[in-house]
Amino acid sequence: MNKIVKIIGKASLVAMTGFMIGSCTSDADSSGLEYMPDMYRSAAIEPYVDYGEIQGRPNTKLSNEQSAMTPPKNTIPYYGTNKEEVMMMLPYHRLPSVAFAKTHGLHGWEFSSNADSEFEYKQAAMDMNPLKLNAENAEMVFKKGKELYAANCMHCHGEKGDGNGPMVKSGAYTGAAVLTGLTIADGQMFYSIYYGKNMMGSHASIVNKKEIWTLVHYIRKMQKADYGTIFNADGSAASMAPAMSDSTKVPAVAETMPKQ
């Protein structure tokens, strides 16, 4: 009986050793043979997958090629049946200045044709925050805003919005805006985050529109501690819009349109 067990054990060891050695290849870049390729690589096209080899069939033309394609212009992801949220996610109606192609790397974007490079930014002062605060959602919005701020803004603008974040302290970056002293409208703040402003690059590919409007609320909270804590009889937040400086007030459209 013991002999049979030993023979079976030795045979199993030899088989396992052969199996392991057989999975090795001479290619230093190879992860080894795939005994169940369908478990590793889907036959259907998926984003962020290298299709240089599919089910044992190499295709060098597809190696290291991006499989995630850019969606058609003006298409939006599916966001459910909440009309307000869907409207919030529609393509942004404000355009960047053509100068942004060089200053902020917005290659291939549609640009404003207005001669005034600040035209769209000035008009953005009319845009109201569509993410309305109320007694039920205020706490959740500020909590989410704090998370987004910590991940995307704090390294430059500082934990308290004083423009003295770790990147600035290290000397790697200068010119971060002091958010607590901003006197621009909500829409202009959105425009600045979406397209970039001065030394800050565009965040359009990093945070979505709802998240940007959430950040606007959080920055307002940093500016005024009781922001989002005073509510009307219907539960909506009382208006606490900051006073805008003369340079950020909306000019008449006729005055800013280029002459024909």
Residue with the two structure tokens 């900051």: 242
Is the pTM above the cut of 0.95?
A: no
| Tokens found for residue 252 | 């008449």
- Per-residue pLDDT of 218-257, as tens digits, reads 999 999 999 988 877 666 676 665 555 555 555 544 344 3
Residue 89 has pLDDT above 60, yes or no: yes
How many C-beta atoms surround the C-beta of residue 40 within 10 A?
A: 12
* pLDDT tens digit sequence for 137-160: 999 999 999 999 999 999 999 999
Q: Identify the CA nearest to 145 among candidates 87, 242, 82, 227.
A: 227
Of 181, 219, 174, 179, the C-alpha closest to 198 is 174
pLDDT recorded at residue 249:
56
Q: Which residue(s) pair with 134 in the sheet?
A: 236
**Which residues lie below 8 Å from residue 119, measured CB to CB, with a gap of 6+?**
97, 112, 256
Residues 157-171: tens digit of each pLDDT: 999 999 999 999 998
Angle (CA) 91 205 148, round 5°: 105
Buried b vs exposed e over 201-211: b needs ≥16 C-beta within 10 Å? ebbbeebbbbb
DSSP readout, 82-130?
A: -HHHHHHTSPP-----TTHHHHS--TT------SSTTHHHHHGGG---S
* CATH 1.10.760.10 boundaries in the chain: 83-256
Q: 83-256 domain in CATH 1.10.620.20?
A: no
Does an H or E element contain 16, and which? helix 2-22
Number of other residues whose CB lies within 10 A of the CB of residue 215: 23
